[in-house]
Amino acid sequence: MTQAGRSSLASVECLHCALPVPVYRRDGGRSSGQFCCFGCRFAHGLARPSAAEDDGALGGLPSTLVLRLGLGIFLAINIMVFSWIFYSGEVFGAVAAPDEPYRPLFALFAYLLMFLCSVVVVSLGFPLAGDAVDRMRTPIGAHTRFRGRVDANLLICIGVGAAFTLSVIHTVRGQGSLYYDTAAMVLVIVTLGQYLEAGAKRRASGAAGALLASVPRRAWVRRGGEVLEIDSADLAREDEVRVRAGEAVPVDGRVIEGASRIDESSMTGEARPRDVREGDRLLAGSVNLDGALWLRAEGVGQETALARVERMLDEARLRQPRIQRAADRVSAWFVPGVVLVALGVFAWHALNGAPTSGLFRALSVLLISCPCALGLAAPLATWNALRKAARHGIVIDSAITLERAAAVRAVFLDKTGTLTARRLRLARIDTAPGVSEIQALEWSAGLELTSLHPIADVLVDETERRGARPATVEAGKTLPGLGLEGRVAGRLLCLGSQRLISSRGIDTEFPAGAPEEATIAVYLADEERLLARFELAEVLREDAAAAVEALRRMGVEPTMLTGDRAGPANRIARALNLAVVSDLLPDDKLRHLESARAAGRLVAMVGDGINDSPVLAAADVGIAMGSAADLAKQAGNVHLIADRVDRVPLTLAIARHAMLRIRLNLAWAFSYNTIGITLAAVGWLTPVFAASAMFFSSLIVVGISRGAGSVRRDRVEDATS
């Protein structure tokens, strides 16, 4: 239904931060865990217990990486301090040059620095270079072969190695400048920076599984007359589960005993508690506020609605939006481009007899360039937006949907069950002579048993409320947008709109007169005559007016599409001050959508997800109203499990906000790199400064992405502009 499932985009996620691993770092499934950057690999190594600890022999000993990093930082600081001795010579020239008697002392210091620095090179430079070399060895498909070969980290290592070697030569010769401090500090900052960046990425993408955290680990069940406390993982369907006041619900299930109020905010973002009593359905993760309840489990573990939402989010995260593919293409050229600039700078200086300053400028160019904004901006921002949407009870199936939702300019809304409350009220029944109300209800309820239309609920409930039972129906059939038909005791009955009945050549006039203008009229007939007419009253959803208003303020044009007749449709449309098209069959709705799209606009369709599947599927963004329990059977790219229309403008607002953040990040990346690389190339930045700038730039990128999708609900409702 969406073009999202292209397998070439299927991502591998980083073992440390769970963000997609860029193509050029993938190893084609060679190893079990893959990392998106050196930082994540390093951080993962830090967090993982050392091999010795695994054996249990030296429990608690930190991994060698911790020691290496700690040692590296400590030594680099010492190297910086001792290097000042040599700077005096650089700054004051011959005046500060050591007098003859002190030369041996200076030489001693130089050798000391050489020793300290070589420890740093071994402890931090080797892992960095090792990772880069691994990337070079990576077998990659023909398409990406080239990208895999260039790794900025490797060139940084070469640059640092050159600075170190140069210093060693100068130390042995006893003349020339020493760059031990630069070499050591660059290694420390690059490693530390990439390590901290990995942590920031992990935190920013971290709440995977956060939804499920609201499901309690332990549960009380009644089995064989006994009440036991067991692990939630061991719950089974049909178990009777106790949930006391203040406890979270461990399963999806139906209340079999007790009454209470339930807080479902973890799923729907709705703060107002819901009253529940026997027969009501509860979802795992909601919290029982007042009374003690017994539930019969209907969904446990991975079958719960919450687990399904979590899985959808997980999949959504790995399908990247178009803007990311564009960024990927740029970043494929970015690293080679930076490398070329660096090599060019070095070559130019070398040819002009200044290889050393060429070396440092080239190193600065490599260090300051920050490709991470390109790779990171979209995945982090979309992931944060998807998660924030979920907190409002909005489940979005992919980043691609998010991207489209941001561009939506027209929204079509279904009437019954979408703009109006799902629950209808049976306002009046008229029957033909010789037909009782109960009979009419039994036949209709029989036909409606298989239907998921809101009309079905009222008729079936009313029949049961009157103590009658739905009739048995054979060969029942749904007539989309019209009603239903089926055989009851051999007689063919049909139930539905006036249009349906008239189309069978049956008069729909009743002696009681026309139905009330504002109600939905549903007719029951056999092959010869009209048997009954039901009038159903519908009420607007309390948030419908605000939602329509918010859409309009966002510059989105809302229109109501309905299969109902003009009377009730116009009443609703007037109340909401909304354009309306009535008397539509499902195919007409499709045509309507198509013509709106032909005008070049992206359109969203909001419907109840079950009746309106084809239309939802045809829209650029199909938004299904419904509960989390319906999630599996619904069509659509967006599921409003909060079951509120005000989530429609909120969805669009979150999407726009996320896209804005992504663009902001790309703009930052572009200007930062252009300015930074230029300054580094002309020699205004030292390598140490360049490495630090790069670290802050990546933190800025992470910070911008983290905020993506943070839209306040009340802001959307009374947004002006």
Nearer to ligand ADP, 264 or 414 (CB): 414
Which region, judged by CB under 6 A, interacts with ligand ADP, from 158-166, 254-262, 289-297, 478-486? 478-486
Q: How far is the CB of 604 from ligand ADP (least distance, A)?
A: 16
Nearer to ligand ADP, 255 or 640 (CB): 640
Q: How far is the CB of 718 from ligand ADP (least distance, A)?
A: 29
What backbone torsions phi and psi does residue 476 show, to the nearest 5 degrees?
Answer: -70, 145
Q: Please name the residue that has the structure tokens 């070499």.
A: 183
Nearer to ligand ADP, 188 or 520 (CB): 520
Q: How far is the CB of 450 from Mg ion (least distance, A)?
A: 16
Strands 394-396 and 638-640: antiparallel
Q: How far is the CB of 564 from ligand ADP (least distance, A)?
A: 4
Distance CA 250, CA 242 (A): 9
Nearer to ligand ADP, 479 or 664 (CB): 479
Nearer to ligand ADP, 135 or 415 (CB): 415
In this chain, which of 45, 250, 481, 515 binds ligand ADP, going by CB under 6 A? 481
Distance CA 101, CA 64 (A): 42
Which region, judged by CB under 6 A, interacts with ligand ADP, from 116-124, 184-192, 235-243, 410-418? 410-418
In a 10 Å sphere around its CB, with 0-12 CB exposed, 13-18 middle and 19+ buried, how is residue 663 labelled? middle
Nearer to ligand ADP, 89 or 586 (CB): 586
Binding to ligand ADP by residue 484, rule CB under 6 A?
A: yes
Binding to ligand ADP by residue 666, rule CB under 6 A?
A: no
Binding to ligand ADP by residue 453, rule CB under 6 A?
A: yes
Distance CA 667, CA 420 (A): 43
Distance CA 395, CA 676 (A): 40
Q: How far is the CB of 419 from ligand ADP (least distance, A)?
A: 9
In this chain, which of 431, 611, 692, 697 binds Mg ion, going by CB under 5 A? 611
650 binds, among Mg ion, ligand ADP, none (CB under 5 to 8 A by kind): none
Whether 414 is catalytic: yes
Q: How far is the CB of 670 from ligand ADP (least distance, A)?
A: 47
Which region, judged by CB under 6 A, interacts with ligand ADP, from 9-17, 247-255, 357-365, 477-485? 477-485
DSSP category for residue 415: I
Neighbours of 648 (CB within 10 A): 31
Q: How far is the CB of 585 from ligand ADP (least distance, A)?
A: 7
Binding to ligand ADP by residue 482, rule CB under 6 A?
A: yes
In this chain, which of 27, 264, 414, 630 binds ligand ADP, going by CB under 6 A? 414
Strands 638-640 and 621-625: parallel
In this chain, which of 12, 307, 455, 716 binds ligand ADP, going by CB under 6 A? 455
Binding to ligand ADP by residue 151, rule CB under 6 A?
A: no
Nearer to ligand ADP, 258 or 481 (CB): 481
Residue 463, C-beta contacts closer than 8 angstroms, at least 6 positions apart: 438, 441, 442, 444, 445, 469, 470
Binding to ligand ADP by residue 563, rule CB under 6 A?
A: yes
- Grouping H, G, I as helix, E, B as strand and the rest as coil, residue 632 is helix
Residues 501-560 that bind ligand ADP (CB under 6 A): 520, 522
482 binds, among Mg ion, ligand ADP, none (CB under 5 to 8 A by kind): ligand ADP
14 binds, among ligand ADP, Mg ion, none (CB under 5 to 8 A by kind): none
Q: Which of 239, 414, 620, 643 is catalytic?
A: 414
Query: Which residue minimizes CB distance to ligand ADP?
Result: 563
Q: At what angle do helices 180-204 and 152-173 cross, to 10 degrees?
A: 160
Nearer to ligand ADP, 11 or 627 (CB): 627
Nearer to ligand ADP, 155 or 524 (CB): 524
Residue 284, C-beta contacts closer than 8 angstroms, at least 6 positions apart: 215, 249, 250, 251, 252, 299, 304, 305, 306, 307
Partners of 394 in beta bridges: 640
CA-to-CA dists, residue 451 to 438, 467, 616, 639, angstroms: 20, 21, 18, 21
Binding to ligand ADP by residue 606, rule CB under 6 A?
A: no
Strands 579-581 and 425-431: unpaired
Strands (E), 86-201: none
Q: Concatenated DSSP letters for 422-437?
A: S--EEEEEEE-TT--H
Distance CA 469, CA 426 (A): 17
- Grouping H, G, I as helix, E, B as strand and the rest as coil, residue 507 is coil
Amino acid at residue number 228: L
Distance CA 589, CA 602 (A): 16
Distance CA 23, CA 11 (A): 9
Yes or no: say if 232 and 250 are a contact pair by the CB < 8 Å rule. Answer: yes
Binding to ligand ADP by residue 415, rule CB under 6 A?
A: yes
H helices of 226-354, where?
265-268, 305-318, 322-351
Which region, judged by CB under 6 A, interacts with ligand ADP, from 236-244, 355-363, 482-490, 698-706? 482-490
Nearer to ligand ADP, 72 or 483 (CB): 483
Q: How far is the CB of 607 from Mg ion (least distance, A)?
A: 6
Which phi-psi region, left, alpha or beta, contains residue 576 (left: φ > 0; alpha: ψ -120 to 50)?
A: alpha
Distance CA 23, CA 721 (A): 41
Which region, judged by CB under 6 A, interacts with ligand ADP, from 95-103, 334-342, 392-400, 412-420? 412-420
Nearer to ligand ADP, 584 or 659 (CB): 584
The pair of structure tokens assigned to 338 is 């930076």
Nearest-Å Rg of the Cα atoms of the chain is 34
Q: Residues in contact with ligand ADP, total (CB under 6 A)? A: 21
Nearer to ligand ADP, 113 or 455 (CB): 455
Which region, judged by CB under 5 A, interacts with Mg ion, from 139-147, 181-189, 383-391, 603-611? 603-611
Strands 557-561 and 579-581: parallel
Binding to ligand ADP by residue 181, rule CB under 6 A?
A: no
Q: How far is the CB of 554 from ligand ADP (least distance, A)?
A: 24
Strands 252-257 and 293-299: antiparallel
The pair of structure tokens assigned to 609 is 């997800």
Q: Please name the residue that has the structure tokens 């019954």.
A: 416
Binding to Mg ion by residue 634, rule CB under 5 A?
A: no
Q: How far is the CB of 586 from Mg ion (least distance, A)?
A: 9
Which region, judged by CB under 6 A, interacts with ligand ADP, from 85-93, 394-402, 449-457, 545-553? 449-457
From residue 388 to residue 417, the character string flagging contacts with Mg ion as x (rule: CB under 5 A) and all else as - is --------------------------x-x-
Which region, judged by CB under 5 A, interacts with Mg ion, from 476-484, 605-613, 642-650, 690-698? 605-613
Q: Please name the residue that has the structure tokens 């020793």.
A: 115
Q: Concatenated DSSP letters for 51-102?
A: HHHHTTTTTTPPPHHHHHHHHHHHHHHHHHHHHHHHHHHHHHGGGGSPPGGG
Q: At what angle do helices 355-368 and 322-351 cross, to 10 degrees?
A: 170
Q: How far is the CB of 478 from ligand ADP (least distance, A)?
A: 7
- Grouping H, G, I as helix, E, B as strand and the rest as coil, residue 485 is strand
Binding to Mg ion by residue 320, rule CB under 5 A?
A: no
Active site (catalytic) residues: 414
Q: Rule CB under 5 A: which residues touch Mg ion?
A: 414, 416, 611
Contacts to ligand ADP by CB under 6 A: 414-416, 448, 451, 453, 455-456, 481-484, 495-497, 520, 522, 562-564, 611
